[in-house]
Amino acid sequence: MCAAPLGANAQSELTWNRALIVTAEEIVPEGMVWKVSNYFPSCAMQLNNTDSSRDFTMTINGNTTYLYGIDTAYAIFNGSPALYGYSGGLPGNDFWLPAGTTLAPGNCVWGISVVEFSIQ
């Protein structure tokens, strides 16, 4: 298993700082880490449409991250789209972002739920 360091040594402690909703690009402040816990969709899911403009995304350091949207809700079965499951949560559950990371809502997402911790 590989892990990326959060910029803190093993003897640091995390202290809850605040909860926030990111609605535009923001940078994780120095001395902080963010726990991203969920997102708020701004588009309705269309179960009989494979239009990729309805994908739910967020941007991390300029890279598009796809959330559970149309592309993950359909599989091709005998040449036709077939619904195989949908969940409104984050892929792989909560995740952490270190100081200096940029985060922004993307397509069909108006906000991202974040808990901020200070590194002590």
Q: What DSSP assignment string belongs to 2-65?
A: -----S--TT--EEEEEEEEE-S-EEPPTTEEEEEEEEEE-S---TT---GGG--EEEETTEEE
Res. 1: pLDDT tops 50: no
pLDDT at 99: 97
Percent of the chain, pLDDT > 70? 62
Closest CA to 58 of 32, 34, 22, 4: 22
Q: Which residue has the higher pLDDT, 63 or 90?
A: 63
CA distances in angstroms from 82 to 28, 35, 68, listed in the order given: 39, 34, 16
Q: What is the pLDDT of residues 28-79, one digit of tens each?
A: 999 999 999 988 888 876 555 566 666 788 999 999 988 864 444 444 444 5
Q: Which residue has the higher pLDDT, 77 or 20?
A: 20
- Cβ atoms within 10 A of the Cβ of 6, count? 16
Q: What is the pLDDT of residues 91-112, one digit of tens each?
A: 667 889 999 999 999 998 999 9
Mean pLDDT over each residue of the chain, to the nearest integer: 77
pLDDT at 84: 44
Res. 18: pLDDT tops 90: yes
Domains of the chain: 20-119 (2.60.120)
Q: Which residue has the higher pLDDT, 1 or 109?
A: 109
Find all residues with CB under 8 Å of 63, minimum gap 6, and list them. Answer: none
pLDDT at 90: 63
Do residues 105 and 111 make contact, with C-beta atoms less than 8 angstroms apart?
A: yes
